[in-house]
């Protein structure tokens, strides 16, 4: 353990804790350098301590309180989180609102200020079943577009009106957008309309949409479309829906179902009314008097107008001139435009508006919040980016079978959500049943989506959105899905023997699954010269014979074919410069933890442990 130095400098922040350790107040996020200053030690000491805990950080890197606390404790302090004060407190509060689920934000509102707001609807269904046609048909008949010569324009969402009530439709049909938003922590949809073509019935994407909507817990309205076609067979559709687990009201279930034709307009009023009834049950409310919070549904960079974002206002009223934070960008709203291409000065809850004036285009799913002024907005964004970097450093990822039990024990997870892909329908059913029998009374595995076919990007997004794992049985993974899974840290497990699959899940649920690591040899180098450093320890001047040496690898010293030492790389240098990597054919200086003596002619074998 390193003893803290430079007491005088840090003394102002410290008190003596009961156990003799000195109390250190650490902010929510700070840089490595700032932590060093607080403790009165050099940042290098902090970096070393972080490395011992498996965190590679540079001097200006942001780390969060949890990470900083580990270092501080190791260095003999008792860490407590400092409460932000003054302006910093206001910044922290808005930053918190940006992160908090919207439901929490609305519940904190004064109930007497809450008023009903229009429902926000997403249309889903199989390709060619008429999602786009339905959105267009509703827009044409229920958006008073032509008034004032307005041309309807696509801004990602629009509001329809029926009998004096409004319904907001998101204009990006399909479950990909829905699940992608949810994976980013944004849920804007109150109701999903599931379109099923009367002549085609329940198809793979219909089932997929049902599973995605269920995982999100959003109510469903079924629209049986193309009812005008002579070959339309709504009864067959209802039958197939019940086989997929959606029981319509007419059959004793709780899902409303209407028959429509996007072509003739038949049933559209009925559909809108049904949506309003479902909305009424949900008691959707917002407080129009508070500062606005919204979510980005679409964004782009226009060559003539700069960054544009369509925002769905969720609570509060958004006004032209407001200073806003949107995800990791900010700005002052120069203009707001509605779906009719008209400039508006205000946007009430559940209305979509395109906003101009941001620094850069945000991403779909980003949260918008109104703040005091642009300066505050900039501070919040800076803070937000620092926090994200600090979190990324800790590599918090998706749920994996290895980390599952830890989360179960911590009470964070009660169920293992499984997305199952298999080669044929017979194995889908067999594997699903086998999985759902697993677990204990406290924790169970639940298959939230099961289908034949390859593992797709959509499966990965569903896994992110519902913190689940993907199990493939005799299934392949699409290259795009593999990349996305790596990026989002989604666990994809492939099996071709059913008992191995069930055994792994069972062990994971019971906390008995040890991660499997295998050694990967990354490079070999020859020791050509030996340098002394300090009283003890040597640096090996090496020539990399094959592969490439990475700073984070470990090395094994081979002398006359025998292993003569092993340890992590302590330093890797080229011409006195610390480097991250050295390729084949180059020379470098290497120091290895625990290896104090090298000889010319030694061979270093570099390796790292990777999860199998």
Binding residues vs ligand GDP (CB under 6 A): 125, 127-133, 173, 225-226, 228-229, 261-263
Residue with tokens 């620092």: 386
User: In the 8-state DSSP scheme, what is residue 3?
Assistant: P
Q: Which is nearer to ligand GDP, 130 or 439 (CB)?
A: 130
Q: Which is nearer to ligand GDP, 260 or 475 (CB)?
A: 260
**Cβ at position 425, least distance to ligand GDP in Å:** 24
**Cβ at position 126, least distance to ligand GDP in Å:** 7
Q: Which is nearer to ligand GDP, 35 or 197 (CB)?
A: 197
C-alpha distances in Å from residue 45, one per residue of 36, 50, 55, 370: 8, 9, 13, 41
HSE-CB at 218 with a 13 A cutoff on CA atoms is 28
Exposed/middle/buried for residue 77 (C-beta within 10 Å: 0-12, 13-18, 19+): buried
Kindly report the CA angle at 198 between 194 and 204, in degrees rounded to 5? Answer: 55
What is the C-alpha end-to-end distance of the chain, expressed in Å?
33
**Cβ at position 359, least distance to ligand GDP in Å:** 34
406: tokens are 């830890």
**What long-range pairs does 164-168 form, CB within 8 A, spacing at least 24?**
165/118, 165/276, 166/118, 166/350, 166/351, 167/118, 167/119, 167/121, 167/272, 167/275, 167/276, 167/279, 168/118, 168/119, 168/120, 168/121, 168/312, 168/350, 168/351, 168/352
Q: Which is nearer to ligand GDP, 199 or 374 (CB)?
A: 199
**Cβ at position 585, least distance to ligand GDP in Å:** 55
**Cβ at position 264, least distance to ligand GDP in Å:** 7
Q: Which is nearer to ligand GDP, 224 or 588 (CB)?
A: 224
Q: For residue 449, report the phi and psi dihedrals to the nearest 5 degrees.
A: -155, 130
**Cβ at position 513, least distance to ligand GDP in Å:** 42
Q: Which is nearer to ligand GDP, 130 or 201 (CB)?
A: 130
**Cβ at position 262, least distance to ligand GDP in Å:** 4
Q: What is the dihedral of CA 68, 70, 73, 78, to 10 degrees?
A: 60
Asked if 142 contacts 94 with a C-beta cutoff of 8 angstroms, the reply is no
Q: Which is nearer to ligand GDP, 228 or 269 (CB)?
A: 228
**Which residue in 405, 518, 427, 414 sits closest to 472, CA to CA?**
427
- Cα–Cα dist 354/342, whole Å: 10
Q: Which residues contact residue 307 at a Cβ distance below 8 angstroms, ignoring those fewer than 6 apart?
A: 299, 300, 301, 329, 331, 356, 358, 359, 360, 361, 362
**Cβ at position 229, least distance to ligand GDP in Å:** 5
Asked if 280 contacts 119 with a C-beta cutoff of 8 angstroms, the reply is no
**Cβ at position 123, least distance to ligand GDP in Å:** 8
**Cβ at position 187, least distance to ligand GDP in Å:** 22
Q: Which is nearer to ligand GDP, 123 or 404 (CB)?
A: 123
**Cβ at position 453, least distance to ligand GDP in Å:** 19
Q: For residue 43, report the phi and psi dihedrals to the nearest 5 degrees.
A: -60, -25
Q: Which is nearer to ligand GDP, 268 or 461 (CB)?
A: 268
**Which residue in 595, 608, 606, 588 sits closest to 527, CA to CA?**
588
Task: Indicate the length of the chain as a whole number.
Answer: 612
Q: Which is nearer to ligand GDP, 212 or 226 (CB)?
A: 226
Q: Which is nearer to ligand GDP, 226 or 367 (CB)?
A: 226
Coil, strand or helix: which one is 473? strand
């Amino acid at each position: 353990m390193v003893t803290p130095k430079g007491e005088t400098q840090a003394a102002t922040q410290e008190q003596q804790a009961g156990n003799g350790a000195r109390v250190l107040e650490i902010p929510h996020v700070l840089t490595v350098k700032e932590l060093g200053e607080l403790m009165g030690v050099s940042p290098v000491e902090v970096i070393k301590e972080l490395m011992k805990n498996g965190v590679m950080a540079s001097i200006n890197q942001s780390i969060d309180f949890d990470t900083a606390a580990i270092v501080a404790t190791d260095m003999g302090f008792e860490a407590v989180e400092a409460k932000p004060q003054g302006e910093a407190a206001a910044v922290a509060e808005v930053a918190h609102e940006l992160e908090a689920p919207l439901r929490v934000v609305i519940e904190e509102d004064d109930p007497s200020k809450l008023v009903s707001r229009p429902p926000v609807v997403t249309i889903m269904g199989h390709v060619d079943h008429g999602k786009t046609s339905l959105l267009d048909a509703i827009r044409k008949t229920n958006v008073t577009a032509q008034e004032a010569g307005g041309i309807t324009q696509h801004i990602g969402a629009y509001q329809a009106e029926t009998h004096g009530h409004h319904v907001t439709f998101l204009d990006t049909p399909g479950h990909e957008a829905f699940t992608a938003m949810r994976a980013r922590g944004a849920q804007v949809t109150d109701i999903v309309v599931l379109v099923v073509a009367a002549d085609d019935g329940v198809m793979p994407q219909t089932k997929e949409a049902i599973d995605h909507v269920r995982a999100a817990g959003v109510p469903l309205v079924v629209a049986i479309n193309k009812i005008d076609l002579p070959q339309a067979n709504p009864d067959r559709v209802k039958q197939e829906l019940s086989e997929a687990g959606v029981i319509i009201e007419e059959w004793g279930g709780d899902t409303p179902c209407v028959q429509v034709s996007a072509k003739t307009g038949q049933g559209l009023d009925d559909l809108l009314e049904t949506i309003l009834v479902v909305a009424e049950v949900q008691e959707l409310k917002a407080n129009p008097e508070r500062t606005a919070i919204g979510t980005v549904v679409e964004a782009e960079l226009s060559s003539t107008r700069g960054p544009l974002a369509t925002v769905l206002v969720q609570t509060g009223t958004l006004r032209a001139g407001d200073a806003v934070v949107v995800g990791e960008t900010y700005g002052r709203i120069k203009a707001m435009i509605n779906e009719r291409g008209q400039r508006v000065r205000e946007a009430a809850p559940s209305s979509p508006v395109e906003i101009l004036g941001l620094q850069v285009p945000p991403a779909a799913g980003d949260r918008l919040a109104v703040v005091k002024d642009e300066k505050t907005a900039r501070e919040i964004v800076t803070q937000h980016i620092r926090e994200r970097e600090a979190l990324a450093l800790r590599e918090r990822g998706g749920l994996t079978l290895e980390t599952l039990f830890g989360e179960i024990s911590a009470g964070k997870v009660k169920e293992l959500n499984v997305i199952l892909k298999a080669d044929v329908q017979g194995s889908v059913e067999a594997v699903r049943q086998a999985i759902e029998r697993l677990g204990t009374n406290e924790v169970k595995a639940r298959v939230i989506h099961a289908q034949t076919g390859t593992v797709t990007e959509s499966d990965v997004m569903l896994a992110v959105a519902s913190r689940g794992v993907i199990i493939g049985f005799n299934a392949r993974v699409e290259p795009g899905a593999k990349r996305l899974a790596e990026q989002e840290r989604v666990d994809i497990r492939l099996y071709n023997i059913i008992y191995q699959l069930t055994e792994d899940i069972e062990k994971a649920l019971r906390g008995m699954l040890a991660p499997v690591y295998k050694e990967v040899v990354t490079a070999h180098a020859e020791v050509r010269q030996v340098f002394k450093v300090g009283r003890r320890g040597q640096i090996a001047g090496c020539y990399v014979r094959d592969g490439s040496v990475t700073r984070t690898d470990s090395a094994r010293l081979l002398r006359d074919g025998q292993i003569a030492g092993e340890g992590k790389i302590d330093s890797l240098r080229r011409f006195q410069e610390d480097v991250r990597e050295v390729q084949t054919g180059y020379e470098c200086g290497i120091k290895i933890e625990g290896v104090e003596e090298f000889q010319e002619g030694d061979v270093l074998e570099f390796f790292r442990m990777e999860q199998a």
